[in-house]
Homo-oligomer: A and B are copies of this chain.
Amino acid sequence: MPTLYLLPVTLSDVDPRRVLPAYNLEVAARLRHFIVENVRTARRFLKKCDPATDIDALTFQELNGHTPPASIPSLLAPMERGEDMGVMSEAGCPAIADPGSQVVAIAQQRGYKVVPLTGPSSILLSLMASGFNGQGFTFHGYLPIEQSARDKALRGMEADSRNSGRTHIFIETPYRNAKLLESLLRTLQPSTQLCIGRDITSPEGESILTRSVADWRRHKPTLDKVPTIFLIHSRS
């Protein structure tokens, strides 16, 4: 039975050996067929893992927002011939916040073995470093863009956190970070704790800071166009 390997890639511009187990690089070096979010990024990543890799001997098929859903099952054709495949997203862990999960679902339906490998996730790393409850949490992906819907979502999270103790986690596209921060500081209670994780795993740029909303209002951070993740927690 062939295996579908889920291969995390780096989150930031960093040596893969800093954030990936040596075993992942061994598995990646054995595979000949890849399903990837972006071919150029995937080739660059494999070259960085092993400059001696013969990239032209590998096959890459893209799975991203532009892929017609009807064509997704055919991406697994090499597995029908008994060959292992690898899935890689553009950053971090495949199938966590990208279309990779659709091809994993098909592999599960067909009874193929699915093996996820360890790698960096900004969700998990920021949660570890936040000091917030890691025994109950929700990841929301992106919040609504429209202001009143977004404010309502934020107030809902704050209320749920106060009642259930749960941590709430969400992301934003980098160029909208400043706007989201404004919403957070305007909408949330002063005593609510807000953790802002920036450029996670970057040797120079990483910063994961937990402060109260009141503190963030006094010392407003500049969120440049850097990948950022936000976590909130509120005590009753």
Contact = CB atoms under 8 A, between A and B. Distances in A.
Interface of A: 6, 17-23, 93-98, 101-102, 104-109, 114-116, 118-121, 123-141, 166, 195, 201, 206, 208-211
Q: Which 7 A-B pairs have the closest CB atoms?
A: A105-B131, A96-B134, A104-B131, A108-B210, A116-B128, A135-B141, A18-B23
Contacts of A208: 114-116
Interface residues of A: mostly helix, strand, loop or mixed? mixed
Nearest to A26: B18
Quick one: which of A17, A104, A116, A211 has the most chain B CB within 10 A? Answer: A116
A136 B128 contact: no
Identical chains bound together, number: 2
A116 B17 CA distance: 16
A141 B136 contact: yes
A130 B107 CA distance: 10
Contacts of A23: 17-19
30 contacts: A6-B129, A18-B23, A19-B23, A19-B118, A93-B124, A95-B127, A95-B129, A96-B135, A97-B134, A98-B134, A101-B130, A104-B131, A105-B131, A105-B210, A108-B129, A108-B130, A108-B131, A108-B195, A115-B206, A118-B119, A118-B120, A118-B201, A121-B121, A123-B124, A124-B124, A135-B139, A135-B141, A136-B140, A138-B138, A138-B166
Nearest to A107: B131
Given A101-B134, A108-B209, A96 B19 contact: no
A104 B115 CA distance: 31
Given A17-B22, A114-B131, A115-B129, 9 more contacts: A6-B128, A93-B124, A95-B128, A96-B128, A101-B131, A101-B134, A105-B210, A108-B129, A108-B209
A96 B148 CA distance: 32
Nearest to A106: B131
A105 B133 CA distance: 10
